[in-house]
A and B are shown apart, each in its own frame.
Chain A
Amino acid sequence: MPKNKWSRHLALPMLSFVLILAACTGDDTSTEESGGETGTDGGQELENGGMYSIDDFSNVKTNEGEAIDGGTITFGLVSDTVFEGTLNWNFYSGAPDAEILEWFDEGLLTWDENYVYTNDGAATYEVSEDGRTFTFKIGDNVNWHDGEPVTAEDWLFAHEVIGNPDYDGPRYNSDFTNIEGMEEYNSGSADTISGIEVIDDKTLSITYIESTPSLLTGSIWSYPLAKHIFGDMSVADISSSPEVRENPIGFGPFKVDSIVPGESVTLTKNEDYWRGEPNLDGVTIKVISSSTVVQELETGGVDLISEFPVDQFPDNAEMSNVEYLGAIDRAYTYIGFKLGTWDAESNTVAYDPEAKMNDVALRQAMWHAVDNATVGERFYNGLRWNATTLIPPSHPEFHDDSNEGRTYDPEAANQLLEDAGYVDTDGDGLREDPEGNPLEINFISMTGGDTAEPLAQYYVQSWEAVGLKVNLEMLEFNSFYDRVGNGGEDDPTVDVFQAAWGVGIDVDPSGLYGANAIYNFARWENEDNERLLAEGRSAESFDLAYRQEVYNEWQQLMVDEVPVFPTLYRAVLSPVNDRVLNYAIGDGTEVYLNELAVSAESPVTAK
């Protein structure tokens, strides 16, 4: 549950990480898995054809049995590395750290299933007429673990630390520069942040420069920093201080009791928790590797886990002691076309109308040529499925269900290419470009996991089937993004690439497809696109229906223009031991960790 507007910095490094490690220790896991597949798949295939659908999963645990008093559970942090141990929301950068933070600290604001801030969190808010000034009131019973109240001063302090030039974490971004006076404070020309005002102990007001609907969906920094603890430290020292690494503090349902660096954390309940005393006496968090996660679950070594490796699901769908919860991941895989370069001088996209891929018919045809529904079934047993638009269904308010994207239709692909002048003139079965020159398209994709290469090969073959010659190159994560132009230096030999984005809770896609966005890897620029992106975050877009309309239009524009096209949406699965009660994954479920309980002293083990 990443808390900031964009969670990509979580998704991507983690993804890369899992993949790279999978490559290093690839032999052992693949042996295990392929052995399992041949052994058990046969039986399952008979029952359900080996196919699953996210619609069959609930994201809330069914409660069976009565809760017992107290009890403890074990949470498995599935990670092939240890956790970093930067245990403070204001400084953390790794996903495993965030998983631990969830248990003992939280934001002052909560949100509903559409990721819009609600007024039932630790703090409530009011918005001024012009939509720029937010007044927050922190609950009177919200206290730090050491008994000190969480104050407006603490919230201001978090902003001051992140805005400080010595701050060494990754949080200082457009959410902060949108606060009045923040840039002056950051550059040192002001001693205070003029836009933030402490009204009394528990009341804070923040004035933003620009009013946008994004403010309500994650752009407010809601993690206070305990000033009575960190106030005397120099900003550069906070992230490595023992108060962050060894004795972290929060105001969440559990308190940190002890930490074994990198491998485990034990927590005890915070009796003074503002939502009410937690049911459980404590929680143990331990790191487990993705190759042993199934055994840990079966033997009851863990009750809950952070993330289940979806590729192991078909072999373990019948695990008898757990219930699988499922949700739609805020992410999609896509194929992008290189349509220009990055202009580092002016920090904009330099769109190149002469680029090899710059024929919209060619791009449309390449989308029509691939059968993503089959890819999802063959490679992921239905746990990834055909993507239609660039706003995934994890955002049900804005994902346009009626837009079918471009369906698999090789006939249409051939027709499009034919009409655009891509015809086979020399009779080798492959099309030449409209000038009659040989057409060779260079496609790069990332290594990692067992399916990465076969999947990329599948796309190459699909394109070949409509007469396009595509050369595939598989690259390791770092080389891949180097060549795609992560740092602004695009490799001119790359024409097409396959990558993935995790999307933030705010739906605004301008950080990925705007002309000023360095992550607009397609290097695509379009007037309508700029207009729609601006409308989507304008003050008028506070009106939901208006914003939906804007984004529907934008989704259609991307289907027409195809600077990139989405290929697969994804499921996240989370097995939960049968004895666990009151648990849910995803957002806005209104099931909170203090309600978490167990129905037996020890975990149920698999039969």
Chain B
Amino acid sequence: MWKLIVRRTLITIPQIIVLSILVFILAQAMPGDALTGLIDPSIDPATIEAMRERLGLNNPWYVQYFEWVKGVLQGDFGQSFRFKMPVSELIGERIINTMWLSLATLVLTYLIAIPLGIISGRFNDTWLDRAITGYTYIGFAAPLFIFALVMLFIFGFQLAWFPTSGSVAPGTEPGTFAYFISKLNHLLLPALSMALITTVSTVQYLRSEIIDTKQKDFIVTARAKGASESRVYNRHVLRNSLLPIAAFFGYEITGLIGGTIFIENIFGYPGMGELFLSSISLRDYSVMTALVLLFGLAAIIGALLSDIILSLVDPRIRIK
């Protein structure tokens, strides 16, 4: 068991190195840099060139890469050109917002997915099941960013139930109860918009697991032994169907990353996704590379988590 986890963890190290090199090469291949936008006749081109030199933008990519790795190993991601502050501080500011958003989305996703999946699986081929699968088809088909805009329009602007931008009301004192409520209030609509879309795969997955499990021999045996229907579902079917869902959890995290990039931009929610898009368009390299690395890490760790959970719940994986 431990051997597998250690081995699986070791594999992620080359993955991360390859990822970081790829990110660097790709960033280098992009035309322009942070100073391209500084088109201003009153600034001497020599000054711009000197800034470029000072920022190390003229060095070949591998020199920049090793400089960067050296910094990263010491916990220093460099300075954001645009924000004029250390990247680690900048990300620190934003990561909290994104973490709350992701957490809220995950909670909402499972709150919606599990009951729907169970109902749908237990009563398959009833009108209730058809309604739920209908919803999942729409969910699969609807692009997240359009759905989010519709949600924003209806609940944010038409009904005015939720704030439409930012992560907290301006001027709220941090640490107070009002601050917490305001944060929560700003979080709910984006999180719900994302959860309603991301939940559909889990619903479908759970549904087919349940349908699959309830025809298994041991369920038939349980029924034959006279177990009540609710006992059959709660003790036998559900337990066996939920385990693969738990394994799915790691991949859920990966999905969230892509989702937050859209959601944060639409809701003007200052998290990492929002930071990511703007750092790309402004060629704020230090921020961009740090974020890709973080996103990549999250994806790799998510996959690792899933594998570990899976190996815990499914003994067949361990035997190799």
Indicate, yes or no, whether A interacts with B.
yes
Binding site for B on A (CB under 8 A): 4-6, 8-9, 12-13, 16-17, 20-21, 24-25, 27-28, 31-32, 80-82, 84-86, 91, 93-94, 168, 170, 172-175, 239-240, 245, 257-258, 260-266, 284-289, 291-292, 295-296, 298-299, 301, 347, 476-479, 481-482, 486-488, 504, 511-512, 517-519
Q: Within 8 Å of chain A (Cβ to Cβ): is B152?
A: yes
Q: Within 8 Å of chain A (Cβ to Cβ): is B265?
A: yes
Output the nearest chain A residue to B152 by Cβ-Cβ distance: A292
B283 contact from A25, A170, A478, A518, Cβ within 8 A: A478
Chain B 75-94 interface mask (CB, 8 Å, partner A; 1/0): 00001001111100000010
Contact between chains at B157 and A295 (CB < 8 Å): yes
Query: Taking A28-B149, A82-B278 as contacts, is the C-beta distance between A91 and B38 under 8 angstroms?
Result: no
Output the nearest chain A residue to B278 by Cβ-Cβ distance: A81
Stretch at the interface among B110-118, B121-129, B159-167: B159-167
A257 contact from B31, B32, B165, B171, Cβ within 8 A: B171
Query: Taking A82-B270, A288-B268, A478-B30 as contacts, is the C-beta distance between A9 and B40 under 8 angstroms?
Result: yes
Residues of B within 8 A of A27 (CB): 143, 145-146
Q: Within 8 Å of chain A (Cβ to Cβ): is B315?
A: no
Q: Within 8 Å of chain A (Cβ to Cβ): is B234?
A: no
Contact between chains at A263 and B85 (CB < 8 Å): no
Q: Name B184-200 residues within 8 Å CB distance of A.
A: none
Q: How far is the CB of B204 from chain A (nearest CB, A)?
A: 25
Residues of A within 8 A of B83 (CB): 84-86
Q: Within 8 Å of chain A (Cβ to Cβ): is B266?
A: yes
Residues of A within 8 A of B149 (CB): 28, 32, 291
Query: Taking A84-B82, A84-B83, A286-B170 as contacts, is the C-beta distance between A479 and B145 under 8 angstroms?
Result: no
Residues of B within 8 A of A91 (CB): 84
Contact between chains at A173 and B32 (CB < 8 Å): no
Residues of A within 8 A of B275 (CB): 82
Q: How far is the CB of A25 from chain B (nearest CB, A)?
A: 6
Residues of A within 8 A of B152 (CB): 292
Contact between chains at B42 and A173 (CB < 8 Å): yes
Q: How far is the CB of A375 from chain B (nearest CB, A)?
A: 24
Stretch at the interface among B11-19, B43-51, B246-254, B304-312: B43-51
In Å, the complex CA distance between A285 and B165 comes to: 12
Contact between chains at B41 and A511 (CB < 8 Å): yes
Output the nearest chain A residue to B168 by Cβ-Cβ distance: A260
In Å, the complex CA distance between A288 and B149 comes to: 14
With A24-B265, A82-B274, A519-B41 already in contact, 9 other A-B pairs whose C-beta atoms are closer than 8 Å: A6-B42, A17-B281, A25-B145, A93-B38, A170-B38, A172-B43, A173-B40, A287-B165, A504-B42
Output the nearest chain B residue to A513 by Cβ-Cβ distance: B41
Contact between chains at B270 and A481 (CB < 8 Å): no
Contact between chains at B40 and A292 (CB < 8 Å): no
Contact between chains at B37 and A8 (CB < 8 Å): no
In Å, the complex CA distance between A260 and B36 comes to: 29
Output the nearest chain A residue to B261 by Cβ-Cβ distance: A24
Output the nearest chain A residue to B147 by Cβ-Cβ distance: A28
Chain B 125-141 interface mask (CB, 8 Å, partner A; 1/0): 00000000000000000
Residues of A within 8 A of B282 (CB): 13, 17, 81
Query: Taking A21-B281, A239-B84, A289-B165 as contacts, is the C-beta distance between A28 and B266 under 8 angstroms?
Result: yes
Contact between chains at A264 and B41 (CB < 8 Å): no
Residues of A within 8 A of B156 (CB): 292, 295
In Å, the complex CA distance between A257 and B143 comes to: 40
Contact between chains at B37 and A13 (CB < 8 Å): yes
Top-7 shortest CB links A-B: A511-B41, A478-B32, A13-B37, A264-B170, A9-B40, A266-B171, A81-B278
Query: Taking A91-B84, A245-B85, A478-B32 as contacts, is the C-beta distance between A261 and B270 under 8 angstroms?
Result: yes
Contact between chains at A477 and B32 (CB < 8 Å): yes
Contact between chains at A292 and B145 (CB < 8 Å): no
In Å, the complex CA distance between A262 and B166 comes to: 9
Contact between chains at A292 and B164 (CB < 8 Å): yes
Contact between chains at A479 and B268 (CB < 8 Å): no
Contact between chains at B166 and A287 (CB < 8 Å): yes
Q: Within 8 Å of chain A (Cβ to Cβ): is B153?
A: yes
Contact between chains at A13 and B38 (CB < 8 Å): yes
Residues of B within 8 A of A264 (CB): 166, 170-171
Residues of B within 8 A of A512 (CB): 41
Q: Within 8 Å of chain A (Cβ to Cβ): is B277?
A: yes
In Å, the complex CA distance between A146 and B36 comes to: 38
Query: Taking A263-B166, A299-B160, A479-B31 as contacts, is the C-beta distance between A28 and B43 under 8 angstroms?
Result: no
Output the nearest chain B residue to A294 by Cβ-Cβ distance: B157
Q: How far is the CB of A51 from chain B (nearest CB, A)?
A: 29
Q: Within 8 Å of chain A (Cβ to Cβ): is B39?
A: yes
Output the nearest chain A residue to B43 by Cβ-Cβ distance: A173
Main secondary structure of the interface of B (DSSP, over half): loop
In Å, the complex CA distance between A32 and B145 comes to: 12
Contact between chains at A260 and B166 (CB < 8 Å): yes
Chain B 27-65 interface mask (CB, 8 Å, partner A; 1/0): 000111100111111111101000000000000000000
Q: List 30 A-B contacts (CB under 8 A).
A: A6-B42, A9-B37, A9-B43, A13-B38, A24-B281, A25-B265, A80-B265, A82-B270, A84-B82, A172-B43, A173-B43, A239-B84, A240-B85, A240-B86, A260-B168, A261-B93, A262-B270, A263-B268, A285-B170, A286-B166, A288-B268, A289-B266, A295-B153, A299-B157, A347-B45, A481-B39, A482-B32, A487-B45, A488-B45, A519-B41
In Å, the complex CA distance between A241 and B114 comes to: 49
Query: Taking A28-B146, A260-B170, A263-B166 as contacts, is the C-beta distance between A482 and B42 under 8 angstroms?
Result: no
Contact between chains at B145 and A20 (CB < 8 Å): no
Contact between chains at B171 and A170 (CB < 8 Å): no
Residues of B within 8 A of A263 (CB): 165-168, 170, 268, 270
Q: How far is the CB of B88 from chain A (nearest CB, A)?
A: 13
Residues of B within 8 A of A476 (CB): 31
B39 contact from A8, A32, A168, A261, Cβ within 8 A: A8
Q: How far is the CB of B50 from chain A (nearest CB, A)?
A: 9
Residues of B within 8 A of A168 (CB): 84
Output the nearest chain A residue to B37 by Cβ-Cβ distance: A13
Residues of B within 8 A of A482 (CB): 31-32, 36
**Most A C-beta atoms less than 10 A away, residue of B37, B38, B146, B274:** B37
In Å, the complex CA distance between A80 and B265 comes to: 8
Residues of B within 8 A of A82 (CB): 270, 274-275, 278
Residues of A within 8 A of B160 (CB): 299
Q: How far is the CB of B170 from chain A (nearest CB, A)?
A: 4
Contact between chains at B47 and A172 (CB < 8 Å): yes
Contact between chains at B42 and A287 (CB < 8 Å): no
Q: How far is the CB of A86 from chain B (nearest CB, A)?
A: 6
**Most B C-beta atoms less than 10 A away, residue of A25, A239, A512:** A25
Output the nearest chain B residue to A262 by Cβ-Cβ distance: B270
Output the nearest chain B residue to A266 by Cβ-Cβ distance: B171
Contact between chains at B165 and A288 (CB < 8 Å): yes
Query: Taking A17-B282, A476-B31, A482-B31 as contacts, is the C-beta distance between A301 and B82 under 8 angstroms?
Result: no
Contact between chains at A4 and B42 (CB < 8 Å): yes
A289 contact from B33, B146, B268, B283, Cβ within 8 A: B268
Output the nearest chain B residue to A510 by Cβ-Cβ distance: B41
Contact between chains at A301 and B145 (CB < 8 Å): no
Output the nearest chain A residue to B41 by Cβ-Cβ distance: A511
Contact between chains at A170 and B43 (CB < 8 Å): yes
Query: Taking A9-B40, A24-B277 as contacts, is the C-beta distance between A292 and B82 under 8 angstroms?
Result: no
Residues of A within 8 A of B85 (CB): 240, 245
In Å, the complex CA distance between A299 and B161 comes to: 12
Contact between chains at A486 and B36 (CB < 8 Å): yes
Contact between chains at A284 and B171 (CB < 8 Å): yes
Q: How far is the CB of B86 from chain A (nearest CB, A)?
A: 8
Contact between chains at A291 and B39 (CB < 8 Å): no
Output the nearest chain A residue to B283 by Cβ-Cβ distance: A478
Residues of B within 8 A of A81 (CB): 274, 278, 282
Contact between chains at B40 and A6 (CB < 8 Å): yes
B40 contact from A21, A28, A85, A170, Cβ within 8 A: A170
In Å, the complex CA distance between A553 and B57 comes to: 43
